[in-house]
Amino acid sequence: MSAVRDTDLEGRPEEIRAVPVRHPGRWIAAAIVLVVAVAIVHSVATNPRFEWDVVGEYLFDERILEGLRITVELTIISMAIGVVLGVLLAVMRLSPNPLVSSASWLYIWFFRGTPVLVQIIFWYFISALYPKIDLGIPFGPAFIHGDANTLIHPFTAAILALGLNEGAYMAEIVRAGIISVEEGQSDAAHSLGMTRLQTMRRIVLPQAMRVIIPPTGNETISMLKTTSLVSVIAVGDLLYAAQAIYAVNFKTIPLLITASIWYLVCTSVLYVGQYYLERYYGRGSAREEALTPVQRMQRLLLIRHEQGGGAAGL
């Protein structure tokens, strides 16, 4: 401490000025990357078979935008079902009741063990298995009943398949998060008089989120693209809309590019969302909060400014 104070009194010690080590390897690598990048961009931009004008024409086409809406809806609803189901299954999995935990295990085993495409088609054809559906108390009265074909249309089938499948994956992610929280946290919560449920909700899950969020972001991005599988049961998602258009005008490549652009836009938005979620749930774990890009920019400019000022003072 005293050493620091001394230098404060006398002004800063002289900073080291040395000739930096040269890195010719880095310059060569950078040059190669640059050349390859330019070559790729040039080829993509000048090859007329990409038909960029067609891409531009269809980018904001009503049918494409409608498909985009369906894709986003499918992603959000399926992920919501997946997350809720995942928390439930994870808590069940960690339950002391062996029947409850094995039920969860069996669910995860089944839904992770079969391809999601099969599950989508399966739900689509559920009416072959159960022509009539009654929702209510088992062996008791039913509150909703009707024809399976009218109750489960393709969109519902898609939601069911994607959501139930996602639940199995989310369960493992949430379980990993819960396990990552030290047992001492539960001890402390219990000793303060919190019940198991309160401890889970107020103490364990909020801290598990730090571990849960990054893979969940991954799952959401994966889900966005997995929704394209529903085109097999004629749900009009983004890919299905593109397919419907190129089935008529045979502009296959440009329309696939159009769809890809929208997928990229959506994943980019998700990246930003994930960044801020991670930042929120990371509070208290890092000594200093992670900066937002805006703050980082401000700080960078500020430091430049200060350094400039300092140099002028000397």
Partner 1 sequence: MSEPMVLAEGVHKRFGRNEVLRGIDLTVPRGDVLCLLGPSGSGKSTFLRCINHLEKINAGRLSVDGELVGYKLVGDKLHELREAEVARKRAEIGMVFQHFNLFGHMTALENVTCAPVYVKRESREEARTRGRELLERVGLADKIDCYPSQLSGGQKQRVAIARALAMRPKLMLFDEPTSALDPELVGEVLEVMRGLARDGMTMVVVTHEIGFAREAASNVAFMEEGVVVEEGPPAELLSNPRHERTREFLSKVL
Binding region for partner 1 (CB under 8 A): 182, 184-185, 187-196, 198, 202-203, 206-207, 281, 283-287
Query: CB 177 → partner 1: shortest distance, Å?
Result: 13
Among residues 56, 175, 54, 34, the alpha carbon closest in space to that of 104 is found at 175
Query: CB 203 → partner 1: shortest distance, Å?
Result: 6
Residue 219 CA to residue 225 CA, distance in Å, equals 10
Q: Which long-range contacts (CB under 8 A, 24 or more apart) does 14-19 make?
A: none
Q: Which residue has the tokens 């439930």?
A: 88
Query: CB 282 → partner 1: shortest distance, Å?
Result: 9
Say how many residues make up the chain: 314
Among residues 236, 266, 217, the alpha carbon closest in space to that of 79 is found at 217
Closer Cβ to partner 1, 6 or 187, answer by number: 187
Closer Cβ to partner 1, 147 or 187, answer by number: 187
Query: CB 4 → partner 1: shortest distance, Å?
Result: 19
Closer Cβ to partner 1, 184 or 309, answer by number: 184
- Measured in degrees and rounded to the nearest 5, phi and psi for residue 17 equal -120, 110
Query: CB 175 → partner 1: shortest distance, Å?
Result: 19
Provide CB contacts within 8 A for 236, sequence distance 6+.
66, 67, 70, 244
Query: CB 286 → partner 1: shortest distance, Å?
Result: 7
- Measured in degrees and rounded to the nearest 5, phi and psi for residue 201 equal -75, -40
Query: CB 191 → partner 1: shortest distance, Å?
Result: 4
Residue 102 CA to residue 97 CA, distance in Å, equals 9
Closer Cβ to partner 1, 195 or 268, answer by number: 195
CB 176, CB 211: distance < 8 Å: yes
Closer Cβ to partner 1, 6 or 182, answer by number: 182
Closer Cβ to partner 1, 46 or 191, answer by number: 191
Closer Cβ to partner 1, 215 or 282, answer by number: 282
Coil, helix or strand at residue 143: strand
Query: Which tokens belong to 255?
Result: 């329309």
